[in-house]
Structure 1
Amino acid sequence: MVKTVGLLVMAYGTPYKESDIEDYYTDIRHGKRPTDAELQDLKDRYEFIGGLSPLAGTTDRQAESLLDALNDTYNDVEFKLYLGLKHITPYIEEGVKQMHEDGIEEAVTVVLAPHFSNFSVGSYNKRAKEEADKYGITLTHVEHYYHQEKFIQYWTQKINDTLNDIPESEHDETVLVVSAHSLPKGMIEKSNDPYPNELHETAKILSAQSNIKHVAEGWQSEGNTGTPWLGPDVQDLTRELFKEYGYKNFIYTPVGFVCEHLEVLYDNDYECKVVCDEIGANYYRPAMPDTDPLFIGAIVDEIKKLF
């Protein structure tokens, strides 16, 4: 007998249209409305990358790809897809409530972020569980998948492909910058959060498995809170690496993200490239996983371990 199990795919969310931006930004700021200047800055960033982030459409495609892959993998389970977003509708709670209304009693949850932090993936899982407990829905959480072989294989291939575009004589003057979204330093240190170590492990594995000779770790896209965040920031790191080693080629792999959106298209492709142009180095950024079968397969393999 085939049983129906919910698949709750959770992600950050992004405005669907320009009129959503203020409410979206207010939600990120825990209900505090941004100033006109802050709001305009965000609008300008979206405008720079083409109007709005492609994240919403990509999240939908990733969720559908994962659903299809799981239903192809399991013979005795039919997964039914639900979306839960952190900062815009359908919110995580709305996704869980819809599961209840559909009669779902058991579900697997996955966040579209490969590394675990109590303040990122952990916070999504907590919100989902609090809502699920109201209805008696049992959840199995995927906490991370950065270590999955297919996830590493994806990035290893992209790094090696990028190296093939760089003259072999310059490989010793090439550095890989592995990064993820920064988080407030105090919170991470106070809770002994695993997040920084998971990024470090990712960089270490990619260094060992790819053909790259030099690897550095950085953080990006920190918030404007007036308190220290995890560093070094990738822009500062780029300048430091150039000053110390004179690298000619910088390959950026923002492995903490899973698709192209504002933080990659602006923070990497614009801000990091500006620094590379400033120091006279070449900027490279391989394609993001999006719906690549290796990436989707990595999540499926993690789910198979748990469920």
Structure 2
Amino acid sequence: MSDPLPLDTAPSGDGSAAPYDALLLLSFGGPEGPDDVVPFLENVTRGRGIPRERLEEVGAHYYLFGGVSPINEQNRRLLDALRSDFVEHGLDLPVFWGNRNWAPYLTDTLRELSKAGYRRVLTFATSAYASYSGCRQYREDLAAALAVLEEEGHPLPHIDKLRHYFNHPGFVEPVTDGVLAALEQLPDGVRETAHLAFTTHSIPDAAADTSGPPAAHGSGGAYVAEHLDVARVIVDAVRERTGVEHPWNLVYQSRSGSPSVPWLEPDICDHLEELKASGAAAAVMVPVGFVSDHMEVKYDLDTEATAKAAELGLPVARSATVGADPRFAAAVRDLVEERAATERGGSPERCALGALGPSHDVCPVGCCPARTPKPAAAGADSPYS
């Protein structure tokens, strides 16, 4: 667990974050050495019956980088950015960190928060969009951790989750700047006609169709609708700053699972082949679906897709994710203050760009359902309300 102050220090409950007394940065987690890789993948795939030999094969991606995923170090940088921003702006709210699949584990972090007397915990997940794997699964892990605390006899903190932030200006603006910087990396003469390939994690078609509140976005589901909406905002912002309307598509990466199950397509590598065949001169890969340059960005885009582009003779560049950008940290502060003011009975301004507007604060019943439903915290159907 990462502690901003001694855990025997009682929270004050004062400041503009009231009624909340702590913020939990909740992330996926990743291995930090070769010996961690297979145990980490066992955590990720627990209950699916995947043999160790297959996990060793998947782990090859991590071994290319010394068995270390960048995600934990990037979360440490984000923690530092959040704490610095909060102090600078007088937000009296300690920030803690817990992971779903590797140390510091979520259950351990919540246990220590409970022991220290924290009772109203706001959660910020490092996933910006609505989907089962990007939202409800995090909420299920929160509920599972609270169940452990309940069995151990610890007081249970009340946990809320910040709304989806894919269209918050503090997320969109750094991504837009990253696209502009990537365009500058392309050779002269192809920059103005470069295609923008907005990439995100592929998920099963069924999960995409049922993502978000029931029937909120028609047959397309919230996951795809949110990505398309923010991509349009970024394309418009690039045009306003350069005078160029770049052609663009939403494409997918990092597919896993059975080949017989339909997943969102096209894959980024297939898309690069299509661009080359259509006569495109260059492309920028924009990992709009990811908060930081973790393994699926470093391997699937920087390694695999970049190699495919070189094989095709197609010039490509990859834009940066938001990472620990100060504007992103400020966006988290804004979301915290917005939710806190709402809990106090106020009607704060809710910043959002694009056509979809700000997301809901509380996930309704039936939002992003799983095939096998489990209890989930921080929602209308939470057993720990």
Q: TM-score, normalised by structure 2?
A: 0.73
Residues of 1 paired with 2:13 and 2:105: CA distance? 29
Q: Deviations over 1:179-218 (max 9, x none)?
A: 1111122222245541111111111111111135111111
Residues of 2 paired with 1:276 and 1:122: CA distance? 35
Stretch moving more, 65-74 or 52-61? 65-74
Which of 15, 19, 30 pairs up with 1:14? 30
Query: For 1:150-169, what aligned pairs fall within 5 Å after superposition?
Result: 150-166=170-186, 169=189
Task: Tell me the SS of whatever aligns to 1:205.
Answer: helix
Stretch moving more, 197-206 or 290-299? 290-299
Stretch moving more, 289-298 or 36-45? 36-45
Residues of 2 paired with 1:66 and 1:128: CA distance? 21
Alignment: residue pair count: 304
Query: For 1:45-124, what aligned pairs fall within 5 Å after superposition?
Result: 45-75=61-91, 78-124=92-138
Residues of 1 paired with 2:36 and 2:272: CA distance? 34
User: Aligned AA for 2:33?
Assistant: K
Between structures 1 and 2, the one with greater helix share = 1
Structure 2 residue 291 is the aligned partner of structure 1 residue 277: no
Shift in CA distance, 50/26, structure 1 to aligned 2, threshold 3 Å: closer
Query: For 1:169-208, what aligned pairs fall within 5 Å after superposition?
Result: 169-190=189-210, 193-208=221-236
Q: Which runs of 5+ in 1 are unaligned?
A: none
Residues of 1 paired with 2:144 and 2:36: CA distance? 26
Q: Which runs of 5+ in 2 are unaligned?
A: 1-11, 15-19, 215-220, 240-244, 341-385
Query: Larger Cα Rg: Structure 1 or Structure 2?
Result: 2
Q: Deviations over 1:210-262 (max 9, x none)?
A: 13511111111111333222221111111122222x11211111121122221
The aligned counterpart of 2:255 is: 222
The aligned counterpart of 1:259 is: 292
Query: For 1:124-163, what aligned pairs fall within 5 Å after superposition?
Result: 124-129=138-143, 131-132=145-146, 134=150, 135-163=155-183
Shift of 1:264: 0.8
Identity value in percent: 22
Shift of 1:2: 5.4
Which of 213, 216, 233 pairs up with 2:246? 213
Shift of 1:32: 4.4
User: Aligned AA for 1:232?
Assistant: P
User: Aligned AA for 2:62?
Assistant: Y
Residues of 2 paired with 1:131 and 1:49: CA distance? 31
1:183–1:222 contact (8 Å) kept in structure 2: yes
The CA RMSD measured in Å over matched residues stands at 2.2
Q: Deviations over 1:76-129 (max 9, x none)?
A: xx3222222111233222222221111001111001122222332222134325
1:26–1:32 contact (8 Å) kept in structure 2: no
1:7–1:81 contact (8 Å) kept in structure 2: yes
The aligned counterpart of 1:231 is: 265
Shift in CA distance, 20/161, structure 1 to aligned 2, threshold 3 Å: closer
Where relative contact order (Cα < 8 A, 6+ residues apart) is larger, the structure is 2
- Runs of 4 or more, structure 1, over 6 Å off, are none
User: Aligned AA for 1:239?
Assistant: E
